[in-house]
Amino acid sequence: MLEVGIMFLPAIPAYLWMWPNVQGTSVLVAQLVSYAYILAGTLLIGRRRWSWDELGLNRKGLGLSLACGLVLLSGRLLVILSVQWGGRPPHYTPLALLGQVLYYIGVVGLVEELLFRGLIYRALEEWLSVRWAIWGSTLGFMLWHVFGHGPLIAAATFVIGLVFALLRWRGGGILGLIVLHGLWDLQAVLLVADSNAQVLSWGRPEIPHPAWMLVGLALMVLVPVYLWVIHPRISWKRA
């Protein structure tokens, strides 16, 4: 964990400076450089101590992650569609859409899951306990997003990070989480315009379909309840 902290120290001032000062295509370049740096550091630290399997790069829990991910994505889709947003989501050409898919699954999903649910989770689990691994990796995931996205997004990130950590715990791997993470980000990018953040800052947005909102929230709450309460009982009965 000390090595992980040292890895992040030089990135913190650069990260704080980048968001208000870098614009346009330079943002993508800066993000790719940042992710390359984090990926290299994660692999350097992680592979000196653990195998790929111990870092979560295995097929364990793949079906569980994808099944729970489908429920999560369906629930959030209903929540998004229930709200009257102020702006339209961006339009992408097929080639640009392919680029978004590769970026969010092959870069963002891969690097962030390998760092938080791979390296940090594994280090905390071995050093302290599974409980510390779940909450510690979730807290780190939230802090990763708070500076560039604000406290509201950070709070939402804490919740979804906790669900991802529970999937890591119950499933044992991160391959499914890499795909789920990428799809989770893609859903927001494709369906919600950047200007819609202003709608939330103005106060309560208009919700023309409250029933969709309630069903969507219920589906999203169902996943952590299932992982925490129901799934271990099913596994025990099968065993």
Can you name the residues that pair with 84 across neighbouring β-strands?
206
Judge whether 59 lies within some domain: yes
Decide if 20 is inside a domain.
no
Structure tokens at 194: 């950047």
Q: What's the sign of the alpha-carbon dihedral 150, 153, 157, 159?
A: positive
The number of distinct structural domains making up the chain is 1
Domain that holds residue 163: 53-238
Task: Assess if residue 167 is contained within a domain.
Answer: yes
Would you call 111 helix, strand, or coil by DSSP? helix
Per-residue pLDDT, 238: 42
184 assigned to some structural domain: yes
Ordered per-residue pLDDT tens for the chain, 239 residues: 777 777 777 666 666 666 667 767 777 788 888 889 889 999 999 999 999 999 999 999 999 999 999 999 999 999 999 988 766 777 888 898 999 999 999 999 999 999 999 999 999 999 899 999 999 999 999 988 776 666 777 788 999 999 999 999 999 999 999 999 999 999 988 887 654 454 454 456 688 889 999 999 999 999 999 999 887 766 444 43
**7: nearest Cα among 127, 144, 105, 138:** 144
The phi-psi region of residue 150 (left if phi > 0; otherwise alpha if psi is between -120 and 50; otherwise beta) is: left
CA–CA separation, 85 and 104 (whole Å) = 23
Query: What is the distance between the alpha carbons of residues 1 and 210, in angstroms, rounded to a whole number?
Result: 44
Burial class of residue 73 (count of CB atoms within 10 Å of its CB; 0-12, 13-18, 19+): middle
Rounded to an integer, what distance in angstroms lies between the CA atom of residue 218 and that of residue 184? 17
Residue 7 included in any domain: no
Query: Within a domain: residue 33?
Result: no
Prediction pTM value: 0.88
Residue 27, in any domain of the structure: no
Q: Nearest to residue 61, comparing CAs of 230, 158, 179?
A: 179
Phi, psi of 84 (to 5 degrees): -90, 100
114 within some domain: yes
